[in-house]
């Protein structure tokens, strides 16, 4: 607020550029007109410089009616009312305008100027109609400083209310943004779990079925175990998918919830490797150093999913190629390495890619504060490495929804 001419009333319901009249404005104007007439009748002596005259009556009415413009032109109305107060004695209207100026005043120097102005006008007006004694000065101060200070306090309170409302709006918007971020992160997590559960099992089924197509008819009876394997893989996929969907059924009836199987952990790595050896006829070497089963559950689950997805990638893109899996526990965390040679004959199985495999692994490792890398090897092979801190503390979800940067991979064996 640069000066007194820049003052604008800041009252509830006012527009910033074009304040509108309210019912209260009409009420206060009517009261001012009535009180002005009463003051003319009961005032002792000759109130105001004009005394009892038609001109004084007109000025009294004009001062009361000018209150209708106090919101749009507060300073001009105050000066006009002050002149009417000196000429025709209108203390009530003058008190209303002092209150109005107090409401819109925010600078201390402005408050000081208004105080001197109000006391001076009231003292000059009262000196004409009242004896200059202690009661007169009490009357002067009460009608000049009282309304001004009350208005100033009301204005400060209004500013506080506006600030609190704005803060509440900001907090509500921030809460909505956090909820949206949490929903996006949860959807990304569900997508990762769905991919890990379904893509792995279905890929095994497709690889096994593809191998059965090349079996001679004479050896058909010998493929019975492979058919059973496809059936078992399908059942496992349905069971794990049902368990995952059971996690989402938080508000369903108790009888509707699916029984939840234990989550995979580091102790399940040997069984995973053995199953992959049978499904893809792969040469898989597993080297475990330390005790990964003592790690945090979330870390064990990440290790298992990382090995599972990497083996699934190898089955899809390099079937029959040797695969080496290394899990080493160290002071800085657990180191996981999965690398495979190029596919025999230089061609993969030709299975479609879902586009979520390595990206999901990168996100999973990143959320645990670890490092992830995936890169091709000379000769058509591929290597996936990750380092996960032993505590596996989740990172704070970023505003973008918790999606990590996509890993740099080649087109040969990319996202599964």
* 108 lies in the same domain as 211: no
| pLDDT(16) > 50 | no
pLDDT value of position 400: 44
Identify the residue with better confidence: 197 or 387: 387
* 116 lies in the same domain as 52: yes
Q: Is residue 394 part of a domain?
A: no
* 188 lies in the same domain as 77: no
Local confidence band at 409 (pLDDT 50, 70, 90 cut-offs): very low
* Cα distance between residue 348 and residue 345, in whole Å: 8
Q: Is residue 407 part of a domain?
A: no
Q: Is residue 155 part of a domain?
A: no
* 223 lies in the same domain as 328: yes
**Are the C-beta atoms of 9 and 19 separated by less than 8 Å?**
yes
* 215 lies in the same domain as 114: no
Last residue of a domain, one of 74, 105, 132: 132
Domain residue limits at 380: 176-388
Q: What does the mean pLDDT of the chain come to?
A: 73
* 212 lies in the same domain as 117: no
**Percent share of the chain, pLDDT over 90:** 10
| pLDDT(11) > 50 | no
Q: Is residue 157 part of a domain?
A: no
| pLDDT(53) > 70 | no
Q: Is residue 355 part of a domain?
A: yes
CA angle 393, 399, 403 (to 5 degrees): 65
* 123 lies in the same domain as 220: no
pLDDT in tens, 269-294: 999 898 888 765 678 999 999 988 88
pLDDT value of position 372: 94
Give the torsion through C-alpha atoms of 244, 250, 254, 256, to 10 deg. Answer: -50
* CATH number of the domain where residue 343 is located: 3.30.565.10
* 222 lies in the same domain as 296: yes
Q: Tally Cβ neighbours within 10 Å of residue 172.
A: 10
* 128 lies in the same domain as 207: no
Last residue of a domain, one of 132, 154, 189: 132
DSSP collapsed to 3 states, the chain: CCCHHHCCCCCCCCCCCCCCCCHHHHHHHHHHHHHHHHHHHHCCCCCCCCCCCHHHHHHHHHHHHHHHHCCCCHHHHHHHHHHHHHHHCCHHHHHHHHHHHHHHCCCHHHHHHHHHHHHHHHHHHHHHHCCCCHHHHHHHHHHHHHHHHHHHHHHHHHHHHHHHHHHHHHHHHHHHHHHHHHHHHHHHHHHHHHHHHHHHHHHHHHHHHHHHHCCCHHHHHHHHHHHHHHHHHHHHHHHHHHHHHHHHCCCCCHHHCCCCCCCCCHHHHHHHHHHHHHHHCCCEEEEEECCHHHCCHHHHHHHHHHHHHHHHHHHHHCCCCCEEEEEEEECCEEEEEEEECCCHHHCCCCCCCCCCHHHHHHHHHHHCCCEEEEEECCCCCEEEEEEECCCCCCCCCCCCCCCCCCCCCCCCCCCC
pLDDT in tens, 188-214: 777 666 666 666 666 666 666 666 656
* 241 lies in the same domain as 374: yes
* 214 lies in the same domain as 89: no
Q: Is residue 211 part of a domain?
A: yes
Q: Which residues contact 172 (CB under 8 A, 6 or more apart)?
A: none
| pLDDT(226) > 90 | no
Of 331, 23, 364, 38, nearest to 190 (Cα)?
364
Distance of CA 386 to CAs 214, 219, 278, 368, Å?
A: 37, 43, 26, 11
* Count of the separate structural domains present in the chain: 2
Q: Is residue 253 part of a domain?
A: yes
* 224 lies in the same domain as 77: no
pLDDT value of position 52: 59
Q: Is residue 402 part of a domain?
A: no
């Amino acid at each position: 607020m640069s000066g007194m001419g820049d003052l604008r009333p800041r009252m509830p319901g006012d527009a910033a550029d074009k304040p509108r009249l309210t019912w209260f404005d009409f009420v206060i104007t009517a009261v001012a007109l009535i009180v002005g007439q009463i003051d003319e009748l009961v005032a002792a002596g000759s109130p105001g410089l004009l005394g009892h005259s038609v001109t004084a009556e007109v000025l009294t009415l004009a001062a009361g009616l000018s209150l209708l413009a106090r919101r749009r032109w507060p300073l001009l109305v105050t000066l006009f009312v002050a002149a009417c107060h000196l000429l025709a004695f209108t203390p009530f209207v003058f008190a209303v305008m002092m209150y109005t100026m107090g409401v819109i005043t925010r600078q201390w120097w402005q408050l000081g100027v208004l105080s001197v102005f109000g006391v001076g006008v009231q003292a000059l007006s009262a000196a004409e109609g009242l004896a200059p004694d202690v009661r007169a000065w009490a009357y002067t101060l009460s009608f000049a400083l009282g309304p001004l200070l009350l208005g100033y306090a009301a204005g400060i309170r209004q500013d506080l209310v506006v600030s609190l409302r704005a803060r509440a709006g900001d907090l509500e918007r921030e809460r909505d943004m956090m909820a949206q971020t949490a929903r996006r992160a949860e959807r990304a997590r569900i997508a990762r779990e769905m991919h890990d559960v379904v893509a792995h099992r279905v890929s095994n089924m497709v690889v096994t079925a593809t191998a059965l197509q090349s079996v001679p008819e004479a050896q058909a009876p010998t493929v019975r175990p492979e058919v059973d394997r496809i059936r078992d893989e399908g059942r496992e996929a349905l069971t794990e998918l049902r368990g995952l969907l059971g996690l989402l059924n938080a508000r369903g009836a108790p009888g509707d919830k699916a029984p939840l199987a234990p989550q995979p952990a580091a102790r399940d790595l040997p069984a995973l490797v053995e199953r992959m050896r049978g499904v893809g006829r792969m040469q898989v070497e597993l080297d475990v150093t330390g005790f990964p089963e003592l790690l945090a559950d979330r870390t064990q689950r990440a290790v298992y999913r990382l090995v599972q997805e990497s083996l699934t990638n190898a089955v899809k893109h390099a079937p029959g190629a040797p695969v080496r899996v290394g899990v080493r526990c160290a002071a800085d965390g657990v180191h996981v390495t999965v690398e495979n040679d190029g596919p025999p004959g230089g061609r993969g199985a030709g299975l479609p890619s879902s586009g979520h495999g390595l990206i999901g692994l990168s996100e999973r490792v990143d959320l645990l504060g670890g490092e992830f890398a995936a890169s091709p090897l000379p000769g058509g092979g591929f290597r996936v490495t990750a380092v996960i801190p032993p505590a596996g503390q989740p990172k704070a979800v970023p505003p973008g929804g918790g999606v990590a940067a996509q890993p740099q991979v080649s087109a040969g064996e990319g996202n599964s």
